[in-house]
């Protein structure tokens, strides 16, 4: 278990200032990644807190949803509909190197703070605009959440059993992937700015992101006009690969290649299968994979997963127990990799969360600040960053601006 770093080596983005105007997952994750690598991130949300703060379950009265996407941020509140809010936002844009937002396209313009206005305020600003369908195109105005992205992009049609209904992924895969792409775009734009002095608009669409991740099925359609059906837990291109029920639970075995299939047959004591000319090629095994899977299932069900693992390890056949979230959270491998990190919050106590998965020797990501509560850092943001005095900040609170 890794602890929050109170003293840390400056990250590669140390000195970069990020204004996070985003909500939910993709935008906040993008800004958090920048923060993990050393950027100073100011998160702006409405005085009651963004919608995500009101989604259970809760820990110490705070939504655990917020623990995932908001560490390494200074949290300030602002009623963006208040007449005084625009001037404050403009001051924050002047301060920022990067602005991250994920409003529906056109919303910033209605607020009088679109990219063209931002450039007037800060000509070198990088604006990362994350949206459902992008800033252009006929679908651009539509609202989108993760599940809509999975459905519209083709991902849902690929997920699930061949004879069943299309299935939603078990996590917010579209939002996560889009957040990662937003962070990549921001860092690339910062590199361009360092070389040229130019800021730019980084336009990231969840729809585009998921389309780009469709893999082999997409190329099969583009190049061959071939629509490949859902394959459930089978591999799309090799066999035998599937989930099997051992005596004490499910285990996934991947033995679809020319080198792995004979090894599995040997472990099973079924060398005649690998010697069968019908199974000498991937195509042959794919054509008769139901029979092969039946043989593997008969072997697996008489053994525990530990017994299967020991035999497959010795033979070099890839496998994995189908782990629950509880099991994987206790994984010694993840512990060895420091993938669960703890941070101390002044009022919430110890917060446990997944660490940044990028491991770097010279400039690793760090957790320097626990996910904050709404408005926790108002005095710092409006005082230290914008230079307002205590009376001015008190007046903003009194008027309901912050």
Nearest to 33 by CA among 9, 69, 74: 69
DSSP classification of residue 168: -
Q: Do domains 2-213+347-398 and 241-328 have the same CATH topology?
A: no
What's the burial of 377, exposed, middle or buried (CB within 10 Å: 0-12/13-18/19+)? buried
Q: Is 345 helix (H, G, I), strand (E, B) or coil?
A: strand
Domain 241-328 CATH assignment equals 3.30.1540.10: yes
Each residue of 297-339: pLDDT tens digit?
999 999 999 999 999 999 999 999 999 999 999 999 999 999 9
Which residue among 175, 203, 208, 377 is the active-site one? Answer: 175
Predicted local distance difference test score (pLDDT) of residue 312: 98
Profile the chain (402 residues) by mean pLDDT over runs of 10 residues: 64 98 98 98 97 93 94 98 97 98 96 97 98 97 96 96 95 98 98 98 98 95 94 95 98 98 98 97 97 98 98 98 96 97 95 97 96 97 98 98 98
* pLDDT digit string, tens, across residues 206-226: 999 999 999 999 999 999 999
CA dihedral (353, 358, 359, 363) positive or negative: negative
* Fold that domain 2-213+347-398 belongs to in CATH: Rossmann fold (3.40.50)
pLDDT value, residue 9: 74
Specify the pLDDT at position 8: 65
Q: Can you give the pTM of this predicted structure? A: 0.95
Of 147, 89, 102, residue with least CA distance to 128: 102
Alpha-carbon dihedral sign for residues 140, 204, 102, 135: negative
Q: Is 163 a catalytic residue?
A: no
Q: What pLDDT is attached to residue 3?
A: 61
The Cα-based distances of 87 to 49, 70, 97, 205, 401 in angstroms read 21, 25, 18, 29, 11
Q: Which two structure tokens, joined as six digits, stand for 108?
A: 């910033």
Q: Which residues neighbour 126 within 8 Å (Cβ) at sequence distance 6 or greater?
A: 97, 98, 99, 186, 189, 190, 193, 199, 200, 202
Of how many residues is the chain composed? 402
- Residue 372: its H or E element: none
In the chain, where are the structural domains located?
2-213+347-398, 241-328
Contact predicate 373/18, CB 8 Å: no
Helices (H), 288-351: 289-300, 305-315, 325-329, 332-336
Task: Report yes or no: 24 and 358 within 8 Å, Cβ to Cβ.
Answer: no
């Amino acid at each position: 278990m890794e602890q929050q770093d109170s003293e840390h080596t400056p990250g590669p983005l140390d000195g970069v200032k990020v204004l996070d105007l985003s909500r939910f997952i993709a935008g906040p994750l993008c800004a958090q990644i920048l923060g993990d690598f050393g950027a100073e991130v100011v998160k702006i949300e409405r005085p009651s807190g963004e919608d995500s703060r009101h989604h259970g379950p809760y820990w110490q009265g705070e939504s655990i949803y917020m623990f995932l996407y908001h560490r390494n941020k200074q949290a300030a509140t602002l009623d963006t509909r208040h007449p005084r809010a625009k001037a404050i936002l403009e001051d924050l844009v002047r301060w920022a190197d990067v602005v991250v937002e994920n409003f529906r396209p056109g919303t910033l313009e209605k607020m009088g703070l679109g990219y063209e206005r931002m450039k007037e305020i800060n000509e070198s600003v990088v604006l990362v605009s994350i949206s459902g369908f992008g800033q252009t195109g006929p679908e651009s105005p539509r609202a989108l959440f993760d599940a809509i992205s999975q459905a519209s992009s083709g991902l849902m049609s690929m997920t699930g059993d061949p004879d069943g209904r299309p299935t939603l992924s078990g996590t917010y895969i579209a939002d996560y992937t889009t957040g990662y792409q937003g962070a990549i775009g921001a860092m690339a734009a910062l590199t361009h700015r360092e070389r040229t002095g130019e800021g730019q608009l980084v336009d990231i669409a969840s729809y585009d992101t998921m389309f780009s991740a469709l893999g082999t099925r997409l190329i099969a359609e583009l190049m061959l006009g071939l629509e490949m059906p859902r394959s459930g837990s089978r591999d799309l291109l090799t066999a035998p690969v599937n989930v099997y029920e051992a005596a004490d639970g499910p285990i996934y075995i991947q033995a679809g290649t020319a080198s792995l299939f004979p090894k599995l047959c040997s472990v099973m004591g079924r060398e005649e299968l690998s010697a069968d000319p019908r199974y000498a090629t991937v195509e042959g095994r794919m054509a008769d994979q139901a029979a092969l899977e039946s043989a593997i299932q008969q072997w697996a069900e008489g053994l525990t997963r530990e017994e299967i693992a020991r035999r497959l390890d010795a033979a070099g056949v890839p496998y994995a127990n189908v782990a629950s979230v509880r099991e994987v959270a206790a994984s010694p491998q993840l512990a060895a990799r420091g993938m669960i990190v703890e941070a101390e919050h002044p009022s919430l106590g110890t917060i446990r969360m997944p660490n940044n998965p990028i491991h770097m020797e010279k400039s690793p990501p760090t957790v320097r600040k626990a996910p904050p509560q709404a408005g926790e850092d108002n005095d710092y943001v409006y005082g230290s960053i914008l230079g307002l005095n205590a009376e001015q900040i008190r007046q903003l609170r009194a008027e309901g601006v912050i």
